[in-house]
Amino acid sequence: MLKRPRRNRKSEVIRNLVQETVLLPQNLIYPLFLIEQPKEKHEIHSMPGIYRQGKFCIFDEINECMNLGIRSFVVFPVIPNELKDKTATFGVKNQFYVQTLKEIKTRFPECCLISDIAMDPYSSDGHDGIVENGKIINDKTIEILVKMALLHAEHGVDFVGPSDMMDGRVLAIRQALDANGFEETGIMSYTAKYASGFYGPFRDALDSAPKFGDKKTYQMDPANAREALMEMELDNQEGADILMVKPALSYLDVIHRLKTNCYTPIAAYNVSGEYAMVKAAGRNGWIDEKKVRDEILISIKRAGADMILTYFAKEWALDYKNQNF
């Protein structure tokens, strides 16, 4: 035997020397759920350690994260059901969500703040688009998404994050941003977002599950990967700054394909159901939760994600700081 791969696994220092993938706090984006009551904080039942919280709690959370090296955040609004309607009217108003976005950037100018562009948090139908006769109407939805994007840009976000999967929305948003002097506001596009069972806990958190049907006429079929490349091509042509694959774990091949087929940075969303499964099995003593968490995060990075949106961000960064690996 001339080649014995085990020689490079002999000691920790050699293993570290040959390590191909490194994860750093700066690669992580922490999703936060905002409620209107400024000082309230409620744990999400299916996502232990993750809260729906008011702005003051969010400021504290961001402060803690910044000290741990997590400096990028995506914020989702939790909207009371009585404020939801068919056209997501509340989403284009000057309300607590956009005001808080602005306050975050004022208090933490050095953070990277990403907003959510989609109708579902505000939609009485629980869909990401306008529903007419049981159908999701693409182009009318885009008009609303564009208004949201301009509103968020005015309130100072670094990126808007269209998570809706309507066709052509990246171009429409890019043109509107540019026409209104927001050339510096970026677009983190949910490029390949699959119609997934892994979003369950998120929809519980927002109470945003579809009131009828499913999201298969706009979110992608889990069986398709070539189609993700088409979405990639479109988003690149339409001016997206970052392309996202979502969920992450069942779609590592898709992350890899996007990474090797274009030069735009790739994000992966390690979604709520992926987090909940690890937490649940960990609590039952069925897996070593931290070991599995670290393996999941490094696998997403190894597949090609430059950055990872993950509910593990804060706890992982805390362990990273204390080197509890």
Q: Interaction with ligand PBG in 116-135: which residues (CB under 6 A)?
A: 118, 120, 128
Question: Among the candidate windows 86-94, 196-204, 260-268, 300-308, which touches ligand PBG by CB under 6 A?
Answer: 196-204
Asked whether the beta carbons of 70 and 297 are under 8 A apart, the reply is: no
Closer to ligand PBG by CB, 168 or 181: give it.
Answer: 168
Q: Which of 87, 185, 264, 272 lies at the binding interface for ligand PBG (CB under 6 A)?
A: 272
H-state helical runs in the chain: 12-17, 55-67, 96-107, 138-154, 169-179, 200-206, 226-238, 252-261, 272-283, 289-303, 313-322
| 193 is an active site residue | yes
- Residue from the set 33, 97, 199, 218 that interacts with ligand PBG by CB under 6 A: 199
Query: How many CB atoms are closer than 10 A to CB 22?
Result: 9
Sole binder of ligand PBG in the list 93, 102, 147, 203 (CB under 6 A): 203
28 binds ligand PBG (CB under 6 A): no
From 163, 185, 189, 310, residue interacting with ligand PBG (rule: CB under 6 A) = 163
Residue closer to ligand PBG, measured from CB, 56 or 315: 315
Q: CB under 6 A: which stretch of 21-29, 141-149, 198-206, 251-259 binds ligand PBG?
A: 198-206
- CB-based contacts of 195, cutoff 8 Å, min separation 6: 214, 215, 216, 219, 220, 221, 222
- In angstroms and rounded to an integer, the radius of gyration of the C-alpha atoms of the chain is 20
- Report which of 236, 204, 199 is spatially closest to residue 219, judged by C-alpha positions: 199
Stretch that binds ligand PBG, among 152-160, 197-205, 235-243, 287-295 (CB under 6 A): 197-205
Residue 244 and residue 254: Cα distance in Å, rounded?
10
Give the C-alpha separation, 71 to 57, whole Å: 16
Contact 163, 218 (CB under 8 A): no
Choose one: 9-17, 33-41, 200-208, 237-245; the region binding ligand PBG (CB under 6 A): 200-208
Q: One of 55, 84, 193, 301 is an active-site residue; which one? A: 193
Does residue number 202 form part of the binding site for ligand PBG (CB under 6 A)? yes
- Report whether 170 contacts 239 (CB < 8 A): yes
Give me the sign of the Cα torsion angle 87, 89, 92, 96: negative
What residue ranges bind ligand PBG (CB under 6 A)? 118, 120, 128, 163-164, 199, 202-203, 208, 215, 271-272
Catalytically active residues are 193, 246
